[in-house]
Every structure is written in C-alpha cells, then in structure tokens.
Amino acid sequence: MVVRSAIFLALLLLALAGCSARRTQFQYLKHADAALLIPPGVRDPATDRRTFVFPTAARPGCVESQGGVDIRPHKGDLRVTVERHPLFEQPPGWLMTWTASLEQRRCLAPGEGSALATRIAEALPSKQVAEQSLLHPSPAVSGYVDLGPGYKLRVVSPILRESAAPGASALAVETVTGEGHSINIDVKASDDLLGYETAWYTLEPRGGSPGLRIVPGSAEARIGADVKPETGPRTNYFAFAPDEAYFRLFFLTRVSHADHDLAMLGAPTRAALDEHTKQFEADPGLCAEKLSAKISGVACLLIPKEVGVLPHIVVHVNGCEIALVYGAVTVGGAIRQAGQKDPQSTLPTLMVERPYGDRLVPVQFDRSSSDILGLLLVGGESIRWR
C-alpha cells in the first residue's frame, strides 16, 4: 500500500509539473517544415480551436462572433473562443481594428482592445508572421507603423547656423545634368549646416489612463568632431495634446508643397485613429491643412523633410537595454547587436523570455538547433546567456 501510494504521488507530481510547464512556457519548434510558436497552455501544435477567459472592467453584455472569434459574457468577464482557419484568413491588421470597435461599442473598457487582440493572436500555435499580420499590417504595404508601449523613436535632425533664413536647407544643389530618361543631381552640405542632433523619445503609459504618451529623452549634438550631450531635443517634433494617446507614423507621404516625407497621426482612441487613417490616406493634404481642425479629436503633425525618424523596439540582452530598429528583428540579430559575433555559440546556455499578458514567460526550444535565433522579437523580450 505504501509503495502504491508513493508511486501514485510521484506520477501525480510529474503530471502537475508537466501541466505547469504547458501553462507557463512558450515552445518554439519546427512543425511540418514551418517554425511555430506554441503559446502557454497548448500542447499539440495542430490545435485549431481554443477557449480562454479574458478579464474586463466593462459590464459584459455583448455577444460578438466574427472572423473566427466568439465572445460571450462569463461570470463578470468574457469567454473567448478562437478558431484557427477563419481567424488567419482575415486581412492584415483586422484583429486590432475589430477589438478597437468593441471598445467603441463598450463591449470592452477603454484600453482593453489591444490586450485582447494580442491575446487572441497568440492563443493558438502559429507562424509568427501570420500572428503579427493579424495585429499590424506590414509597413511595406500600409506605409505606416503603429507605435506601441516601450517603443522608442530615434530622431536625427540637422543643426543650422542661427543666422540661417527660415526654411533653410541642410543641402545645396551644385549641378543638375542629364538627358533622355536619366537625371544626375550633385548636392553638398549647405553653408548653413553645422552638424546634426540625435535625440530619443520613448512611448510610455499614461499613468492610469489608456494609451501612451511620447516623452522626449536623451540627445546629443555632433558638430564637426565634437559630440556633446544635451539636456533634451532642441525641437520636440511630437508635441501632441494630452488627450491624444494612440499614434501612427506614416512614411513617404507627400502631404504638402514642402514635400514632407513623414507624418504622424495622434488620436484619443484606437477606433478614432483607424477611422481617420482612411481619410488621411485618401487625402494626405488634410495634414498640411491642420487635420486636427478638420477632423474632431485627431491631430496630424508633419515632420520636416530633412529630419529622419526611426522607430525602435526595446529588448534586454544580458540585463542591458538594447534598442533595435523596427522590422524583422530576431533573437540572433539582438545577440549580434549586443556584441556577440557568433550567436550560435550562446545556444548551450541561452534563455529567452517573451511577453505574455503582464509578465515574461520562458521560451522552450531545441538547443541542438539554431532555429531559436530566427524567433521574431516584438519588444519587451529578455535574452540571456552565460
């Protein structure tokens, strides 16, 4: 009897340990020649349907079913059922737009839409590209980047002489030649250009209110060979009103006679940002004509054409914060940027943690394979090795 009890207890502990591992870890593995990210709570890579409970501060009363997602009230919260095939057939960005509309109809409390969209996107095993496409369309197609919590903006702008005329350029055209279908333009730095400034801005929570705020941070000026730290950016290009909490950075958009290459929309809600993005895309000139005066609650700021803005995501590598240019950033790329020339050499002791809800969760992977180095980063990850 004692032996049987001991065996039973051992089996029970093993079962509980296995169950706990399934609940608290991601798995990154090759399945059917594709790299899949399997979320906590899922054991079978072929799982195509899942139900979970999403806590909400709203008064649950909405019953919604669309695009492979079914939402119903459940004991004061929401019961969400997700089906793989109809969900991953939705167009890029659909999930964020849909959950924003749920906020607008008060099925969700303000600010809960993004969290629910992320939870739905990562509910089932998926290719990361497909998961991220549900949340945000590719900038190469959409022409914009949605700025998220913890993102940083690197802004490089020219420093001109104080005597420079208003609207003076950092560049001067020397010669223009060409014939037929080709043209050659030779340019040089203008006499007004002294150097350039590099400044950083951070997307931070608004402290108890939904959404984000753009906070100016460190800056440095380079004039000739001299590099000097500054107390902050000389010009704040993102001076939005306090109630504007969702931001979208547009690239290569001709919106005025000055040919601005960058513009940023800010809105008090995600639904308002989506709604007015359509109007802005149909007529970018609205921005040059003070969009905030034309469209209630939405502001549009133009970035001067010689100012560069690069969005970055932030991860921690061996305890140090690393800012990585937004795009297809991988674990291997982050390790290289941290100074390790051979990321594969880190595999024996490598540890990767990924955001899951409000915490970081370990990612389990095959250490005999370098597949983990291709894991896409979304921001907020922790990467360590000894």
Longest dimension (CA), the chain: 97
Residue 291 confidence (pLDDT): 53
pLDDT in tens, 294-350: 455 678 888 888 899 999 999 999 999 999 999 889 999 999 999 999 999 999 999
Mean pLDDT, 10 residues at a time, the chain of 386 residues? 45 41 76 85 93 89 94 94 96 95 92 95 92 91 92 93 71 66 69 87 92 95 92 92 92 52 89 87 72 61 88 97 93 96 97 94 95 95 96
The label of the residue with tokens 């839409």 reads 113
Count of helices and strands (H, E) across the chain: 10, 21
Distances in whole angstroms, Cα of residue 24 to Cα of each of 20, 304, 364: 6, 47, 10
CA 206, 212, 213, 219 torsion-angle sign: positive
Residue 11 confidence (pLDDT): 40
Concatenate the DSSP letters of all residues of 178-215 into one string. Answer: --TT--EEEEEE-TTEEEEEEEEEEEEE-SSSSSEEEE
- Strands 308-317 and 320-325 come out as antiparallel
Q: Where are the domains of the chain?
A: 8-38+328-386, 48-137, 146-165+186-309
The pTM assigned to this predicted structure is 0.84
Tokens of 216: 């100016």
